[in-house]
Amino acid sequence: MNYEEAMEFLRNLTKFGFNFGLGRIEELLKRLGDPHRKLRVIHVGGTNGKGSTVAMIASILQAGGYKTGVFTSPHLHSYCERYRINGVEITGEAIAKLLNRLRPHLEDMVEEGFEHPTEFEVSTALAFAYFLEQQVDFLVLEVGLGGAIDSTNVVTPLVSVITNVAMDHMDYLGNSIREIATIKSGIIKEGVPVVTAADYEDALEVIRRTSREKGCELVEVGRDVTWNPVRGSAEGQEFEVTTPSKTYRGLFISLAGQHQVINAATAIAVIEALERYKYSFPEEAVIDGLARTSWPARLEMVSSSPRVLLDGAHNLHGSLSLKKALTEVFSYRNLILVFGMLGDKERERVVAELAPLAKTVIVTKPNSPRAGDWERIADEVARYVPDVHLIENIRQAVEKGMSLAGPEDLVCVTGSLYMVAEAREMFL
């Protein structure tokens, strides 16, 4: 297979959908020599902020002189984005080579009566094989969905991280914070230190109990690790973070929004947790690593005339962070909202938070089979905003928003990450 054929092969695997359980991935990895057992892993789960936190941890590790692998999902523009070493994406040629290596094992599994691994299971196995082959010092590994039976949960990491817990993917994870926290706490392993920035008490109770039962040291961001904002703007934020051992001053991130400061505090707590394994990180590595962190499509300004802001606020928790940023960080005369969200999200509640901020809302269709009855969102938006447009094509929806914007207005494109990614391609 070449790269194009490899991508087609992976797309065909999506027919297996979400098929939870660790049996298939464990069998596949066993046939590959269990590469996941030979890697030093930081495992990052949670509802929101996983990607940003992964990026911050990885950037600090790299600044500390370590060869650092990162596996995240989904990607924005290219499948290669999912696999990075020191910020450099895997090549298409390398993906094709690895899939050629994996494919006979997949065929053998089916012949021997095993279920065929899903697309994400194959992607995860590919990640472990690649990062071991490249001999990374650390792998910062993002959970795909949930935790307990996510295919990444075959690892025994150096640190387990749960950024936060909120209502999302209820069809798969449960209908309460406590149920979702139970699933996400499945990444907590015996004796492995845990870092969390969860703020709902129901979630914290579950994480605390699980950590206690498994003999894990638990660090809570917001209690054990605190932050203090110094100054902030749409261009970035300066802040301080205090841990049980020290205070880090003069910290800066180019990412907007208070939630990113919390993610940074979480990353610092993870770095300090690694010190129990005799790794050392000078304060300069923390400062430099955070300053160099970038994470696209999260409060990302992609145009200045007119101003266009992208944010993949794909659920209610994310929309609340976006609302806070729109009211506290960004200034504008009129807000023009380009909005498209998947059908399995809390769309009505998200609309209730964001639509009242806007003068005009343009509803569009995410490029996903899960878009559902996307047109119905316009009826919900009309309860809060009289000027509502319905434009199915994402590019045309963004162009319409830009055409309506005056020099002091702000166009905010938000909702499904699939939709935001397609919009972002217009500005590359």
Q: What percent of the chain has pLDDT over 70?
A: 97
pLDDT, greater one: 166 or 282: 282
For residue 88, which of 102, 69, 73 has the smallest C-alpha distance? 69
Strands 360-363, 387-390: pairing is: parallel
Beta strands in 46-131, from DSSP E residues, in sequence order: 68-71, 83-85, 88-89
- Residue 56 in this model has a pLDDT that exceeds 70: yes
| Residue 170 pLDDT grade (very low, low, confident, very high; cuts 50, 70, 90) | low
Mean pLDDT of 268-293: 97
- Residue 169 in this model has a pLDDT that exceeds 60: no
User: Can you say how many angstroms the Cα of residue 123 is from the centroid of all Cα atoms in its chain?
Assistant: 16
Mean pLDDT of 189-207: 97
Beta strands in 99-175, from DSSP E residues, in sequence order: 138-142, 159-162
What CATH architecture is 3-291?
A: 3-Layer(aba) Sandwich (3.40)
Angular region, 214: left φ>0, alpha ψ -120 to 50, beta rest: alpha
- For 321-348, the pLDDT digits (tens) are 999 999 999 999 999 999 998 876 688 9
Mean pLDDT of 135-160: 95
For residue 96, CA distances in Å to 101, 117, 139, 141, 280 come to: 9, 18, 21, 21, 37
Domain ranges, ordered by start, for the chain: 3-291, 300-427
Output the pTM of the full model: 0.95
- Residue 227 in this model has a pLDDT that exceeds 90: yes
| Residue 394 pLDDT grade (very low, low, confident, very high; cuts 50, 70, 90) | very high
- Residue 297 in this model has a pLDDT that exceeds 90: yes
pLDDT, greater one: 173 or 327: 327
| Residue showing tokens 């990026």 | 55
- Which residues are 87's β-sheet partners? none
Mean pLDDT of 64-74: 97
pLDDT at 171 (0 to 100): 57
pLDDT at 371 (0 to 100): 75
pLDDT at 275 (0 to 100): 93
Is the CB of residue 114 less than 8 Å from the CB of residue 24? Answer: yes
Cα Rg for the chain, rounded, in angstroms? Answer: 21
Contacts of 90 (CB under 8 A, 6+ apart): 80, 82, 83, 84, 130
According to CATH, what is the number of the domain 300-427? 3.90.190.20
Q: What are φ and ψ of residue 43, in 5° steps?
A: -105, 120
Q: What are φ and ψ of residue 347, in 5° steps?
A: -65, -40
